[in-house]
Structure 1
Amino acid sequence: MHADIHLQLHALNAAALQRQASAAARASAAASVVSGTAGPAARAAGSVRVRVGWRLVELGLRLATPADRPVTLVA
């Protein structure tokens, strides 16, 4: 496949994915407005996101701290 065709197909697929993502975001926002809450799935995703974020912070601190100084995180 020529590079030009590959780039055009990629652009078309990317645009389709963008449309799907924006439609899903609008539907999710509309559902949370109607129900008045974000819903358990959104809360669970946020909780996982927070835990992963803190794990990444801990990993970064461990990588940045010399081996002779232990890292202690207090929550």
Structure 2
Amino acid sequence: GLRVPFDVSMVGYDDSFYANEIGLTTVRQDPIAMATCAALKALDLIETGKTAKPFEVFPAQMLVRSSTTEAKG
């Protein structure tokens, strides 16, 4: 009996193709950039046994759509 977004907010992850179609608020990252970086690190490890930057942070973007609303209270 709960209603989105009146009673609860709903957030997805990875901004799938259908998220915009159904109005789902979602988090978007760049999977191609992440995969490219991971592949380059794997090649470094194969070739040299080490990689210059073993950890990286990729930016994320919140796309607010109709499945969320402002907090009440």
Using structure 1 for the length normalisation, give the TM-score.
0.31
Higher relative contact order (CA 8 A, sep 6+): 2
